[in-house]
Structure formats: structure tokens, C-alpha cells
């Protein structure tokens, strides 16, 4: 596919130019929001690089998306982020859009050792360290590894935060690890702004059809979360994906250092 498509402003008026095929790097691109984002960008002709730890999951996802390639890597380690940067440099050269979506609640991590489980402080240290590595460090390492390859001007950097960054997550560690992305994004926007690169954060609320919520929420709790919204429904991966896609378009060229909430109004006013 050529990847060319007409660009319009929010009112539908053509900008008078055509965007060439872009390279979009998506961490956590094999499932949920990351996979929905990859499909959204593919529909407008962009090629996507799907990054994550589970090679087979990534390969299955990439096989179903035109122009997608899998790049397995553990982004909690500098070597993993460096491997992605080397792959992108070798295959594509420039990154037009970087979406830092990898993260989670530690369900894929090895369980703590028995002595850690037996010690309340050791359990706390383990929980906070795991969440920081999964949700904060992955985004920072990948961004720092790729920042010199971001298209200038026109590059986009996006971070996936959470409603928990505003209201907590029950344990503290997950919400705090997502909230840590906000000041980093603001500092990064200041650093990259002179190059014509925007940096923004998207903070979803309850999103159905993702591994994060699968099997972890009772129907009663889900109903309560949906009742908090103003439109009476849970979000979908597509809701978030289309927000990411729009923030990556020329229509959002003057939006940077912002946190956009996608939660049906369950949390608002920040």
C-alpha cells in the first residue's frame, strides 16, 4: 500500500498536502490498546513496529496487519531498548510516531520468592519495583533510545497513562508508576519542542477487551465503574487508539505537553 492519504483539519478542510507513509513504533503492540492502535495506523497506510516481550504474540499480531513487523524486546532492560533502536535504525531510519503503551500490573512477572511474600516490607518493595519497571522504566528507556531518530519536525511521542494516576489504583504502586510519566512527558515536550516534535499523554479509564482487566474485575465492580461515566459505557481499545491516531496527525500539531483523559467523564477537570 502507498500509505498516502489526504490530511484534513478538525472541520474537514484539506490542509492541501498529502502525508507519506510513516513509521510508527508501538510498545505493547501485540494485544489490547497497542494492537488496536496498530490497526488504526495501518488503515491510513502507516507501517508499524510492534514491540513487546512475547515474541509469538507479536508475530501473530503483525501477521494480521498490513505493513506491521514484530520486534521482540524486554524494555525493562537497557539492552532491550537498545535492540529496538538498532532494529529501527537498520530497517527504517526514522521514527515518525512513538507510542509507549507497554505496561501492566505484573501478572506476567514471576511470583515473588517465599521470603519476600512473608515480609510485608519486602512485598511492598517488590510490588513498587515491579510496577515502576513495567510502567515507567519501559517508556523512559524506549523513548531515550529512540529520541534522536524521531522525525524533525513532525515527530510524535505518546504515553499511555491511566485514570489511576489521578485517583489511585487500590495498591498505590500502579497509579504512582503511571503518574510518573506525566512530569517526564512535560520535560520531554520542553526538550523536543524546538525540533517540532510534540509529546502528549493519554490516560484511559475502564477499557474492555484488554488483558489488564481480563478476569480481575467482578461484574459488580465493573457495573460500578461504568456507572461513574457520563455516557454509560466502558471504553474500548478503539476509543484510545483513535485518540492516539488523532494526536499523531497534523490536526494536533499545536497540542503538546497535555494529558488527555479517555474515560467517558469518569474523571475530569484536570
Q: Which residues are catalytic?
A: 174
Contact indicator for 37, 12 with CB cutoff of 8 Å? no
Best CA proximity match to 258, nearest among 216, 199, 213: 199
User: 217 φ, ψ to 5°?
Assistant: -130, 130
Contact indicator for 84, 51 with CB cutoff of 8 Å? yes
Residue 224, Ramachandran bin (φ over 0: left; ψ between -120 and 50: alpha; else beta): alpha
87-122 CB burial, b ≥16 within 10 A, e <16: bbeeebeebbbbbbbbbbbbeeeeebeeeeeeeeee
For β-strands 5-8 and 14-19, DSSP reports them as: antiparallel
Counting every residue, how long is the chain?
270
| Cβ atoms < 10 Å from Cβ of 146 | 21
CA separation for the pair 145, 129 (Å, rounded): 21
Ranges of beta strands (E only) in 114-191 are 156-160
Q: Copy the grid coordinates of residue 189.
A: 515536550
Contact indicator for 195, 232 with CB cutoff of 8 Å? no
Distances (CA, A) of 105 to 102, 216, 217: 11, 11, 13
CA separation for the pair 66, 156 (Å, rounded): 21
Amino acid at each position: 500500500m502507498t500509505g498516502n492519504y489526504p490530511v484534513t483539519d478538525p472541520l474537514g478542510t484539506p490542509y492541501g498536502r498529502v502525508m507519506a507513509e510513516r513509521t510508527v513504533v508501538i510498545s505493547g503492540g501485540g494485544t489490547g490498546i497497542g494492537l488496536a492502535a496498530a490497526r488504526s495506523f495501518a488503515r491510513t497506510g502507516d507501517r508499524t513496529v510492534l514491540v513487546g516481550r512475547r515474541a509469538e504474540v507479536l508475530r501473530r499480531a503483525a501477521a494480521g496487519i498490513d505493513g506491521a513487523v514484530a520486534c521482540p524486546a524486554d524494555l525493562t532492560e537497557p539492552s532491550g531498548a537498545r535492540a529496538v533502536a538498532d532494529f529501527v535504525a537498520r530497517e527504517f531510519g526514522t521514527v515518525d510516531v512513538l507510542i509507549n503503551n507497554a505496561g501492566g500490573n505484573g501478572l506476567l512477572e514471576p511470583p515473588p520468592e517465599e521470603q519476600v511474600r512473608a515480609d510485608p516490607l519486602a512485598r511492598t518493595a517488590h510490588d513498587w519495583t515491579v510496577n515502576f519497571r513495567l510502567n515507567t522504566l519501559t517508556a523512559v528507556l524506549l523513548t531515550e533510545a529512540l529520541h534522536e531518530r524521531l522525525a524533525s519536525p513532525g515527530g510524535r511521542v505518546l504515553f499511555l497513562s491511566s485514570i489511576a494516576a489521578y485517583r489511585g489504583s487500590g495498591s498505590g504502586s500502579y497509579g504512582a508508576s503511571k503518574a510518573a510519566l506525566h512530569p517526564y512527558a512535560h520535560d520531554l515536550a520542553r526538550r523536543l519542542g524546538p525540533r517540532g516534535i510534540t509529546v502528549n499523554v493519554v490516560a484511559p479509564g475502564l477499557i474492555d477487551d484488554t488483558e489488564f482487566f481480563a478476569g480481575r474485575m467482578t461484574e459488580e465492580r465493573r457495573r460500578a465503574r461504568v456507572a461513574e461515566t457520563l455516557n454509560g459505557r466502558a471504553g474500548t481499545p478503539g476509543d484510545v487508539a483513535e485518540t492516539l491516531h488523532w494526536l499523531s496527525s497534523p490536526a494536533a500539531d499545536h497540542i503538546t505537553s497535555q494529558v488527555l483523559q479517555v474515560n467517558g467523564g469518569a474523571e475530569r477537570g484536570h
